Amino acid sequence: MIRIAMTSVYVDDEEKAHVFYRDVLGFETRTDLDLGGARFITVAAPGQDVELLLEPGDSPLAQQYRAGLREAGLPCLVLGVDDLRAEYERLSGLGVRFTQAPTKQGPLLTAVLDDTVGNLVQLTQPAA
């Protein structure tokens, strides 16, 4: 069986991203290696196997990709939550900026936040 083991998100600042994804979103650090000039940092939701690599986004390709996503207002990552409205309130209280408040979109309830390191991230849950 093939499964997703790791995916990545380009970030402006690896340490700032690490703090945001760990301390604000609640992920746990799985890997943090100093590679001499760059770090290899992965985080994951507690109890889940899929890791998110916080990839340096300073290459021309990464910059073009991220600029295109932001211009279109598209998230680079979609995260599932159990209670979107509660997460929206919790994260807003921590100063997280949302570009879209909780909104029903067909069978889903979604919200979009700014991860502080150059990306939009969508939170989603099935609509009741």
- For 55-124, give the DSSP string: EE--SHHHHHHHHHHHHHT--SEEEE-S-HHHHHHHHHHTTPPEEEEEEEETTEEEEEEE-SSS-EEEEE
This prediction has a pTM of: 0.93
Which pLDDT band holds residue 128 (cuts at 50, 70, 90)?
Answer: confident
Q: What is the mean pLDDT of the chain?
A: 96
Residue pLDDT, tens place only, 43-82: 999 999 999 999 999 999 999 999 999 999 999 999 999 9
